[in-house]
Amino acid sequence: MKILATYNIKGGVGKTAAAVNLSYLAVRDGYRVLLWDLDPQGAASFLFRIKPRVKGGGKALIRGQRLIDDAIKGTDFPGLDLLPADFTYRNLDLVLDSAKQPAKRLASLLTPLRREYDVVVLDCPPSISLLSESVLHAADLLLVPLIPTTLSVRTLDQLTEFIAGFNGHRPDILAFFSMLDRRKRLHTQIMTDLPARRCDVAAAAIPALSVIEQMSVQRAPVSAFAPRSTAARQYRELWHETRQRARLPDPGA
């Protein structure tokens, strides 16, 4: 089982859209997928038409008072399951703070699911916190969406330095440009400059298109309701690069 996480210190950069579309594309390729919505806003849960109510909330899961299997819900797409968030997830840092080995808690919770899923995708809230540290310890690959601006590039550098300070497990990184507007000179300049100095930037770039915003209306991945769109094509390319970077074996292997 490979654990992927869409993560960025900044909010509003396309983490959930990427998590939803990549999870869907993984299922299309034959993988058994679990998407864990860790954001208290529950956007991924909403997009997959799952009511964001988890009995006992995130606290019960983190403390082991409820089995993770009991909280998992099926989606409209066979092979793709969801662990929904609710507003109690805003307190997960406090719950983790009282847990033993909080940085390793998510990895511990996911370990029993290794026989059930090939891929787990964590859709993370924007922050640097105990929860995000637990995500970083659990993930095999961090997918980091970047709006092509100077401040976004700076957050990627900060994240890289933060991970470099870890002892033991360190996730790999695959950054990708998100909300790209090729009409903006700064966007095109950073798209050229950043891959020249870093080898962990994807060739795929997710454009700033209204079809992505339509996900909240259609309540489905772009790749499902607009498969021929430019956005869907770029998500497919990003998934292809993600598979390679995460060294995912063929489904069923």
Domains and CATH numbers, the chain: 2-246 (3.40.50.300)
* Ranges of the chain whose pLDDT falls below 70: 52-59, 63-65, 91, 93-103, 252-253
Contacts of residue 197, defined as CB under 8 A and 6 or more positions apart, other chains included, come to none
Tokens found for residue 89: 């997830």
pLDDT at 9: 84
pLDDT at 128: 75
Q: Are 246 and 238 in contact (CB under 8 A)?
A: no
* Average pLDDT value for the chain: 88
Neighbouring CB atoms inside 10 A of 11's CB total: 11
pLDDT at 86: 77
Q: What is the pLDDT of residues 75-113, one digit of tens each?
A: 999 999 999 987 777 767 666 656 666 567 788 888 889
pLDDT at 79: 96
Q: Tell me phi and psi for residue 61, to 5 degrees.
A: -70, -50
Q: What is the pLDDT of residues 22-41, one digit of tens each?
A: 999 999 999 999 999 988 88
pLDDT at 102: 58
**Angstrom distance (rounded) from CA 153 to CA 248:** 27
pLDDT at 227: 97
β pairing state of 141-146 and 172-180 = parallel
pLDDT at 64: 66
